[in-house]
């Protein structure tokens, strides 16, 4: 059984470093993508304060389709280039949105969302999907969250296809 130890949420670099360690322990050794994605979303949901949604949108070869998540039911399909998620996928850049109402084309799945961060996920050069986190607080995410979320996502992608095996 996995039990996460309490983490000091005021020190973001330390919080994300500890969370990355926990993610490595939780996901390492398991290759089932759905299992790992579900546990990853649950880990982040319970560790980070002030979230109202966190989860995956997975690329099906045409568009982004909602995957394992925590929070209220969400929009199912997001075309590439649309919303914060589709923008992250096309630009290949993490999107940190301090005020979702000021983001042109933001897709409102939950009217409680005020700020959002979306990390694009790539397996080599191929789009895998995006990791999307919403908050009911304005400007909930900053550069420390960007660095931390990217680090966490690297742990998730590495668990799916460990680099040492890719190279073999």
State yes or no: residue 128 binds ligand SME (CB under 6 A): no
Q: How far is the CB of 133 from ligand SME (least distance, A)?
A: 9
State the minimum distance, in angstroms, from the CB of residue 66 to ligand SME.
Answer: 7
Rounded to a whole number of angstroms, the minimum distance from the CB of residue 43 to ligand SME is 18
Q: What is the DSSP string of 33-79?
A: HHHHHHHHHHHHHHHSSS-SEEEEEEE-SSEEEEEEEEES---SEEE
Distances (CA, A) of 138 to 82, 143, 168: 21, 15, 46
- Order of strands across the sheet that contains 63-71: 77-79, 63-71, 53-59, 126-135, 115-123, 95-97
Q: Is 149 in the site for ligand SME (CB under 6 A)?
A: no
Specify the residue, 42 or 109, whose C-beta has the smaller distance to ligand SME: 109
Nearer to ligand SME, 85 or 96 (CB): 85
- 121 counts as binding ligand SME under rule CB under 6 A: no
Residues 88-117, mask of contacts with ligand SME (x by CB under 6 A): ------------------xx-x---x--x-
CA terminus-to-terminus distance, the chain: 32
Helix H or strand E segment including 69: strand 63-71
Radius of gyration for the alpha carbons in the chain, expressed in angstroms and rounded? 15
Which CB atom, from 110 or from 142, has the smaller least distance to ligand SME? 110
How many C-beta neighbours within 10 Å does residue 50 have? Answer: 13
Q: Nearest distance from residue 109's CB to ligand SME, in Å? A: 4
> Which residues from 58-87 bind ligand SME, rule CB under 6 A?
74-75, 78, 83-85
Q: Which two tokens stand for residue 41?
A: 């979303």
Summarize as ranges the residues that interact with ligand SME (CB under 6 A): 53, 74-75, 78, 83-85, 106-107, 109, 113, 116, 132, 134
């Amino acid at each position: 059984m996995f039990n996460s130890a309490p983490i000091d949420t005021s020190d973001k670099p330390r919080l994300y470093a500890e969370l990355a360690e926990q993610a490595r322990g939780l996901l390492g050794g398991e290759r089932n993508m759905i299992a790992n994605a579900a546990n990853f979303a649950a880990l982040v949901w319970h560790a980070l304060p002030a979230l109202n949604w966190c989860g995956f949108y997975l690329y099906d070869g045409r568009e982004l389709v909602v995957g394992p998540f925590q929070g209220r039911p969400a929009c199912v399909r997001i075309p590439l280039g649309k919303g914060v998620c589709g923008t992250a996928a096309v630009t290949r850049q993490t999107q940190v949105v301090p005020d979702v109402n000021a983001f042109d084309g933001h897709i409102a799945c939950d009217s409680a969302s005020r700020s959002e961060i979306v990390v694009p996920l790539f397996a080599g050069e191929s789009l895998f999907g995006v990791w999307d986190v919403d908050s009911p607080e304005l400007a909930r995410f900053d550069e420390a969250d960007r660095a931390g979320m990217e680090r966490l996502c690297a742990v998730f992608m590495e668990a799916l296809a460990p680099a040492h095996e890719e190279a073999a």
